[in-house]
Chain A
């Protein structure tokens, strides 16, 4: 299916998908664009359908606080150095922010993965994995 057809299917059919997966893709956008995607996903999922988000960057990622960057919004940065150099917009979440973004969903799984690298150099990476479900209530509203 082409990109345009997928987009059309998501925006017009309502409830077309059982599962939407996103591995470190949506997290490379601004907060506003992420909110738009989450709304689109909500419309596209069947009642009880699930969204799997993997490797969303955490605010505990070392680069978030320690590498100079251009601030796009409170949670989104653009880096010229460090792990995210050349990646464009990179969004960072904490637990509260994730729960706010996915307020219309029910969390089934939520884990923060922190990698404390010792060798070859000291460095902390941190990411979220989560599974949320579109509730019946949300589907009928």
Chain B
């Protein structure tokens, strides 16, 4: 598995055009981001670039990776001349981003969770290798096993925690990975959790269902490089 081509299709069809920074990201960045001018930030799966203006405003040197040519070309054009570097790549296959040094912050808002367990583990190795000492990783909106759709009968299993759905809220999104607290602790055993919250949304209208996702901040521990 790799970058889900379903996402390129979604960007081509203008189905994923979020342009405002995610409010939870802004809140976490202010509490745990050590924001400062010149800080080096890498976003995995930067999508339509919703979070870029926020980090530019902080004076950050921003790097983004995405597997969709459509969105990468659009972002390179939109942020030309700014301290923004967008690379088209499947971030689950990266080893090193050619950026001249380690990152203070690597973030992922609901991108890494769209991959298999194996690809996620590979990407986490990349994260440890490319984070500065005591650098931090922000994971936002990683799907939780408490999400109703995780328990759907329909949908193929790519591994014990990764599914592909033809119906429901994740239809047409390719691989979708779900975690509980133990999964997160195992995946990020090389780091120290500074923040961990499960967000459970009980929807009553227009239809009844429960969605659930995790937000977390992990600090790279001394000596962790894989």
Contact = CB atoms under 8 A, between A and B. Distances in A.
A118 B181 contact: yes
Given A110-B203, A112-B202, A116-B199, 6 more contacts: A95-B204, A107-B204, A111-B203, A112-B204, A113-B199, A117-B195
B205 A109 contact: yes
Given A108-B206, A109-B206, A117 B201 contact: no
Contacts of A114: 199-202
A120 B217 CA distance: 10
A109 B193 CA distance: 34
B96 to A, nearest CB: 30
A33 interface: no
Contacts, number: 48
A119 B205 contact: no
Contacts of B194: 119-120
Interface in A80-135: 95, 107-120, 130
A110 B205 CA distance: 5
Nearest to B31: A120
Nearest to B202: A112
A119 B32 CA distance: 12
B20 to A, nearest CB: 14
Interface residues of B, number: 16
Residue of B200, B203, B204 ringed by the most chain A CB atoms within 10 A: B204
19 contacts: A107-B205, A108-B205, A108-B206, A110-B203, A110-B205, A111-B202, A113-B199, A114-B199, A114-B201, A114-B202, A115-B197, A116-B198, A118-B198, A119-B193, A119-B194, A119-B195, A119-B216, A120-B195, A130-B205
A113 B201 contact: yes
Contacts of A115: 197-200
Q: Is the interface of A mostly helix, strand, loop or mixed?
A: strand
B197 A116 contact: yes
B196 interface: yes
B191 to A, nearest CB: 12
A118 B200 CA distance: 13
Contacts of A113: 199-201
A54 to B, nearest CB: 10
Contact of B201 (A108, A111, A118, A120): A111
Contacts of A110: 203-205
B26 to A, nearest CB: 14
A118 B196 contact: yes
A118 B184 CA distance: 12
Contacts of A107: 204-205
Residue of A108, A111, A116, A117 ringed by the most chain B CB atoms within 10 A: A116
The 5 closest A-B pairs by CB, nearest first: A119-B196, A110-B205, A110-B204, A118-B196, A117-B197
Contacts of B198: 115-116, 118
B53 to A, nearest CB: 20
A136 to B, nearest CB: 19
Nearest to B192: A119
B67 to A, nearest CB: 30
B54 to A, nearest CB: 18
